[in-house]
Amino acid sequence: MDYRTITSEAERNSMMRKANLTGKERVLAVLSGLEVDSLPVLNPTSLITFENMQRTGCHFPQAHLDADKIAALAATGYTVLGFDSIMPYFSLHLEAAALGCNIDWGNPDRLPAVLEYPLKEAGDFKMPANFLDRRPVKALLTAIRSVKQKYGARVAIIGKVVGPWTLAYHLYGAAHFLMDVILEPAKVQKILHDLKQVPVMFAAAQIEAGADIITWCDHAIDHLVSRQTYQDYLLPIHKECAVQLGKTPVILHVCGNVLDRLDLFAQTGFAAFHLDSRNSIPEALKLAGKMQVTGNLNNPRLLLNGSAEDVRAAVHSVIRDGIQLISPECGLPIRMTNANLIEIVKAARMYTNAREAL
Amino acid sequence: MGEYIDFCRRLLESLQEVAAYIQITDENDKLIARTWDGQPDKVLADTSKSILQEPFMVLPGVVWHIAVAAHDNSSDHSTILLQSIKAALQAAAQYISLAGARSREELMVKELLSPAGDSRHDNTILISNLKQSGLDVTQSRAVILLDLEEEVNRYFNIHLDLGYDASSEKAKAETIQMIKANRHITKQDIVASYGANQIVIIKAFMEITEQGRIYRALDRVCETILNEMETSKIFAVRLAYGSLCDDFADIRQSYQEAKLLIQLGMTFLGRNGLYKYEDLLAEYITYNLPDRMLVKTLRPLADKLKQKGDTGDEELLYIVETYINDNFNLTETSRKLYLHRNTVAGKVEKYKKITGLDPGERYLDALLTKILAIYMRLCAAGMK
């Protein structure tokens, strides 16, 4: 039954709370603004731990480019950790690699990095006709099809794209691109206009391959970019891309303190925002309006170094503060143990059980 | 943090009559405050008591805990109490953080601009504080200095005090907020009031190979700030920036350069606005000439002009300087100064006789004359 066809919101919420939903249904319901029987736990960004690499025998860097390894490793988010989602894109570099960046793919402990920036002038970018067939892109699409087939009925499959701003950092170099923002606004407009087709095309392909949700990473972070710059350059593009991606929920991910611009993110039309732990949840919720907010569980202090009790208390605290979609704040440090991640899921379920008991 | 700890203690003191045990601990489980005296651990170890505990964020990444146990063991009472205290503590954390933000930046700027010999200037502590504030200490930075002068209201040629002095601090604070909201200012930049009438911006840039682009970007940043300030009409503004530096220890040098450009701009350009280095190149070089050049060459030349110049040293030098600026065109100089062409030619001859310099024939003599003219104006302005 499609709960969205029931017109009364109260009736819909009541049915959703009573229903015995799958993890996937819970995630999608909350993203649609509905209340659910049990709060879902998801990962808009990478959930890969060294422990799970050992468990599956799929290690970085091969697991960035080999579809079978990507799928096997991503699946541990559900099969081992119990999250309600699977997200098979573990870095930020697949598009950049497919567009000609020379990438150091790192090692099991280190994530990839761009070694050289291939573009300089605004007109230098040309969208390759075979973009979707290039190895890094094709590997992810194949991996999404694979996890969708095996787990797609139970968990939400989350795809991920790098937005034009972050892509410009990779292709032009962050320092040069940010200098262009000051000196050559027309060049920046042209670059963003050209690059926006990359995430839209890649997201559409991931949706076609089976992604239920797309995470959109665009690092308009406050240490590099002012609110005004986001508003002038990127907000119109985000609005346009949100329309182009249609009904598929998009989770916007921007690291750092975003309270000075979260009201602008709320205007994009994206369904949710992935929040760093440096932000106050009540403030964020006020600014986000109808946009859902997820995240805020601190990675280094809480999930890497905290105890199970700390994790439990933090999960219960974010729920009490109003978070409906439980998730870590950002891509995980690889050496994090599985125990604290499993504890997030347990704590969310425990909270639900306690609520039901009342 | 001390202010916040005081708040926690005062809050729990005021709640001592409430029928509950309340305790606040920091991120290391160290006790910050509690509502009861004596046998503290016995209360928390009492298994018959229903204790609610919850974390709350004091600063980004710093989480403390509140524990509440109602005397009547009612979880409803404990929950209401706990949530109310948490709300108060979070609001206070935010308030103190906001109030502290301005003074923190001011302190940071004060530290960075204090002379190297100053006892306060401990680089290690300073760098550690900057890192704790989230600043990337590896980025290059330059000081943009704003010298503010309140626009004075004059009606009927008399100075009316309309009470603007009282609100000047507020206006300055609003100006700082306006600068922070500028499209080119990010959280890596420090913006703070410095002294009575200055605002300092320590602007950060990621490293690029073409440093010239950074200086052009600094021009653009200054121009946008100036545009916004000119529309506000609160202050007349003079702006300049110093050199880019890779080390926070050199920030003071960048500030000194910007300050000097403002002093030179006020003396030589006769306008407010942005003073660029290239607009004041000759003046900047002259100001920074080594002492030996002053005592051996410039002062003796100035003395000669003072002793022998019957029309006054400044006037003679001004005519010759204009003649140099006009590319040694007597007609153009005479037109500009409303003098007969022969008068200008006579003055140039006189200058040659007095100083021994022939600016029309020798490039170095022309350069020295130009420097001499600037030096004399620096002396008249009390800068030399």
| Alpha-carbon distance values, B35 to A291, B8, B46, B93, B212 (Å) | 40, 11, 16, 20, 62
Residue A195 to residue A197: CA distance in whole angstroms: 5
**pLDDT average, residue stretch B297-325:** 82
- Closest-CA residue of A relative to B208 is A175
SS3 A214: strand
Please tell me what DSSP assigns to residue B288: T
Inspect the interface and report whether the beta carbons of A310 and B188 lie closer than 8 Å.
no
- Which structure tokens are listed for A240? 């346009």
A97-101, A243-247, B26-30, B379-383: segment of lowest average pLDDT: B26-30
Lowest mean pLDDT among A16-30, A145-159, B251-265, B369-383: A16-30
Complex prediction ipTM: 0.86
Q: Is the pLDDT of residue B311 over 70?
A: no
pLDDT at position A267: 98
- Answer for the pair A235, A196: CB distance below 8 angstroms, yes or no: no
Q: Which residue has the higher pLDDT, A214 or B24?
A: A214
pLDDT in tens, A297-344: 999 989 999 999 999 999 999 999 999 999 999 888 999 999 999 999
Q: Where are the domains of chain B?
A: 2-103, 114-286, 290-380
What H or E segment, with its residue span, contains residue A231?
none
CATH topology of domain A23-357: TIM Barrel (3.20.20)
CATH of domain B290-380: 1.10.10.2840
Q: Which residue of B has its CA nearest to A233?
A: B183
- Give chain A positions within 8 Å (CB) of B136: 223
**Residues in chain A closer than 8 A to B183 (CB atoms):** 226, 228-229, 232
Beta partners for residue B22, in sequence order: B68
User: Does the structure show a pLDDT above 80 at A161?
Assistant: yes
Interface residue of A169, A177, A223, A309 to substitute, partner B, most B CBs within 10 Å:
A223
Q: DSSP string covering A314-328, please?
A: HHHHHHHHT--BB-B
Report the CATH number of the B114-286 domain.
Answer: 3.30.70.270
Instruction: Give B19 to chain A, closest Cα distance, Å.
Output: 24
Measure B33 CA to nearest chain A CA, in Å: 20
What does pLDDT average to over chain B? 85
Q: Which of A173, A179, A222 sits opposite B217 (nearest CB)?
A: A179
Instruction: Give me the helices (H) in A217-332, please.
Output: 227-229, 235-244, 262-265, 281-288, 308-321
CB-based contact (8 Å) between A282 and chain B? yes
- Whether pTM exceeds 0.95: no
Q: What is the DSSP string of B336-359?
A: HHT--HHHHHHHHHHHHHHH---T
Backbone φ and ψ for B197, nearest 5 degrees, come out as: -135, 30
**Closest-CA residue to A281 (of A315, A311, A240, A332):** A315
Which pLDDT tens digit goes with each residue over B171-204? Answer: 888 899 999 999 999 999 999 999 889 999 999 9
Does A6 contact B at CB distance below 8 Å?
no
Res. B74: pLDDT tops 50:
yes
- When scoring A169, A177, A224, A226 by the number of chain B Cβ atoms within 10 A, the one with the most, hence best to mutate, is A226
Which residues of chain A make contact with B186, given a CB cutoff of 8 A? 222-226
Q: Is the pLDDT of residue B42 over 60?
A: no
Question: Cβ contact (<8 Å) for A277 and B134?
Answer: no
**Residue B119 confidence (pLDDT):** 47
Burial status of residue B304 (CB atoms within 10 A of its CB: 0-12, 13-18, 19 or more)? middle
Domain residue limits, chain A: 23-357
Distances (CA, A) of A135 to A57, A64, A130, A176: 21, 10, 10, 28
The pLDDT value given to residue A147: 98
Structure tokens at B176: 């700082």
DSSP reduced 3-state for A251: strand
Determine whether the interchain pair B60/A278 forms a contact, defined as Cβ–Cβ distance below 8 Å.
Answer: yes
